[in-house]
Structure 1
């Protein structure tokens, strides 16, 4: 049998392997998936994980539960040597080792794009993984507990200030959900005043949500500001040293929580440690049928999809355009890649990828959202219902759909769960201190 190696178990990788399992004959090929995490993260649910509307584990799909005929390797691919059909894998424990294959599928995904700004690496947190969304929620809840014991002043104000950097979908949805959580949470703290809450969204361009057209995008800004948020457009973070945000506009403020969602960057492994053709942005060059290479220079036995692939966008009349890196494209590319790979194995022609998009929908907090498809715009509660409906249908496996629906139904009856489990980030602290109280200054992250 030939070995099909899938690098990355995210959207595109999971769906490729999942569909290959269903379509391949048992003696036709072996599928191997290499990923450092044992699950696929359904990223559209991360803002709701952050707000406590979705249980963290329900936003993750266990690879071993659903890829039953696939060999799973827990580790990271550090080098691709396609000329010799070999990758180097660094496992979570132990020495790195080579892994041979016959057919390569690169779906390693993108990484959070970090800039060389003072204080960002030390103080900010991303929002690309379940662990990050959980940590953001727990830090906000812990900050409220700490602020409630302090008198009014700079220390308390810092604890009640949160900043999102990046006005794309992740940033806006996370910002809206966290602000909704904070404003609901403050009602449980008679020691605090709602006017003390300070939520900032910083975007370098003159607009947020680039996939949404002008007026709906401006409506989102007005909506967030009406709810008490501070939206800083045409502003860049110059420094976050010590948790103090300094903007290019001259504004400065202290922020206990800094969430960095300023776009995606090329996966370093794909960009720097592969002999596959790479474009100027560090993505794998692929044809419309998801084979690596070009029509003039195809790369044999190599395929790619998802955020780390420059897939030609045939749905728009713009030569050289590539599909945007989002969940819609990654899922559909993964499914098509599996079908095309099987077609190639059986001597049939592969089909080009073309997807026009189903519109855009975003949550802006509990009961609030926006949807746009061409000239049709829906705002508020109906858009929020559409957001939940779309994603509960889109999340893979019926098991996950049922679990998410159960949590939503429970929340309708009993409201938000406001328990902070920040202590799980330091599970040995109670054991080490023997029950002695730990002295911490205001602003110390638990």
Structure 2
């Protein structure tokens, strides 16, 4: 080992945070003596526990409680807030664009390293749908969850206040594209919240709300199995959700939704959760990628054919040893376990010991469908309704990092037993200077 080995971790999500946390524990002495240095680079200073984003959007959980501050849990690591825009692994050098510096070259800095971990995750996979970029929003971050909560309540405020029937119908139409976990759980939680909120609106009944789930394939929630997927569709439809399978969004210009089955309507909300793709940062590297843009990985979680480089999670094509010829699914269950194995293998390399391959059989999935409703398929055991909802909450609470976050989420749920959810839309937080700019404009008018 050189005098100081610098480990650079690209990404602070599941792979980045959990691998750094493992390295922090396994290399405690080396870090203390300065023999190893670990740097984590991510645009955000926190890791988001995404399975709880739907509950954060619905107001069941405080959004700050579903994120984990990297500086608090990775005290022996250096946290650099920025975006890796290029990697020259042959030279062991990465280019980082520091957040807030804009796109000016002055905001870029070079980082040299000895070992590289790429866990940059994924981004939303968009299709060339006219109008999507202008009016759509994803559901991968805490900011998007907060925005959607405020937006849905804000649309209800619009519907309550306007006399324009067309504007009212548009405000009360909510479209979610994608029948995976993100789309189904977010829709179910927000629909549940909006129905509860109707009691505080004089002119809005739950039947006035129009929730649409658009899925391009013939099924939803494939991870829980076909039977549980069909039950979920039936449950959503009983709650008034318009579920359309084998359907595409053809256009969304000017908030006018056109579907492939010929249906057209106006909608003030369009949430896009139709799949993900690897973070494009891997395109600006000299590391090998496959036809889907994923880093080519070995079962040892190293980059194929490249020394001193490791990868895991959504950004990597990791062979699934339990299903020869296939790759591990891009989900949190694999990412967390891969991160720990990756860190152990990196430590083994530093200490001259053999690496071990990653092998984990997928045990199943759980999903929440609003308060007191859920669906699960675990070890082939199919569960639905209240027991599945309880299992969903219990499982994910056990997986949230740090006792601090577990306690805060439990407190949020406990308070929810005694007090109703808030129905306040704080839309101003997305444009905090709007009132100030209005005042400045009025002041200018006064001078003129």
Alignment of 1:21-40 (within 5 A): 21-24=24-27, 25=29, 26=31, 27=33, 28-40=35-47
What's the CA shift for 1:325?
0.5
State the distance in 1 between where 2:206 and 2:376 align.
29
- Aligned partners of 1:394 and 1:110: how far apart in 2? 21
Partner of 2:339: 334
Superposed CA deviations along residues 285-334 of structure 1, whole A, max 9, x for unmatched, are: 111010110xxxx3110000111011111122x32x11011111111111
**Match runs of 1:34-433 below 5 Å:** 34-94=41-101, 95-151=107-163, 153-270=165-282, 272-293=283-304, 298-316=305-323, 318-319=324-325, 321-433=326-438
Cα shift at 1:374: 4.2
**What secondary structure is seen at the aligned counterpart in 1 of 2:303?**
strand
- State the secondary structure of the residue aligned to 1:19: helix
Q: How far, CA to CA, are the matches of 1:224 and 1:147 in structure 2? A: 23
Post-superposition shift, 1:399? 0.5
Deviation at 1:150, TM superposition (A): 2.0
Match of 1:4, SS state, is strand
| Residues in 2 aligned to 1:434 and 1:147: alpha-carbon distance in whole angstroms | 27
Stretch deviating more after TM superposition (354-363 or 150-159): 150-159
What CA distance in whole angstroms lies between the structure 2 residues aligned with 1:324 and 1:292?
18
Q: Secondary structure at the match of 2:369?
A: strand
Deviates more, 1:415-424 or 1:62-71: 415-424
Cα distance in structure 2, aligned partners of 1:202 and 1:375: 27
Query: 3-state SS of the aligned residue for 2:204?
Result: coil
- Give the CA deviation at 1:132: 0.4
Q: TM-score, normalised by structure 2?
A: 0.94
Q: Distance in 2 between matches of 1:266 and 1:5?
A: 19
Name the CA distance, whole Å, in 2 between partners of 1:115 and 1:300: 36
Q: Is the 8 A contact 2:224 2:366 kept in 1?
A: no
- Residue 152 of structure 1: CA displacement? 6.6
Q: Alpha-carbon deviation of 1:436?
A: 9.7
Query: How many equivalent pairs are there?
Result: 430
Asked if 1:434 is matched to 2:439, the reply is yes
Runs of 4+ aligned residues of structure 1 deviating over 4 Å after TM superposition are none
SS at match of 2:417: helix
Q: How far is 1:212 from its partner? A: 2.1
Q: Are 2:46 and 2:69, in contact at CA under 8 Å, matched by a contact in 1? A: yes
Is residue 2:19 matched to residue 1:13? no
C-alpha contact (below 8 Å) 2:228/2:376 kept by paired residues: no
| TM-superposed deviation, 1:435 | 10
- State how far apart, in whole Å, the 1-side matches of 2:97 and 2:413 are: 39
Q: What are the superposed Cα offsets for residues 375-410 of structure 1, whole Å, 9 maximum, x if unpaired?
A: 311101110011000111101000000010011101
Deviation at 1:434, TM superposition (A): 2.9
In the TM superposition, residue 244 of structure 1 has moved relative to its aligned partner by 1.0
Counterparts of 1:142 and 1:436, CA distance in 2: 25
Query: CA, structure 1 residues 219+435, in 2 after alignment: closer, same or farther (shift >3 Å)?
Result: farther
Query: TM-score normalized by structure 1?
Result: 0.94
Q: Distance in 2 between matches of 1:345 and 1:356?
A: 28
Q: Which runs of 5+ in 1 are unaligned?
A: 438-446
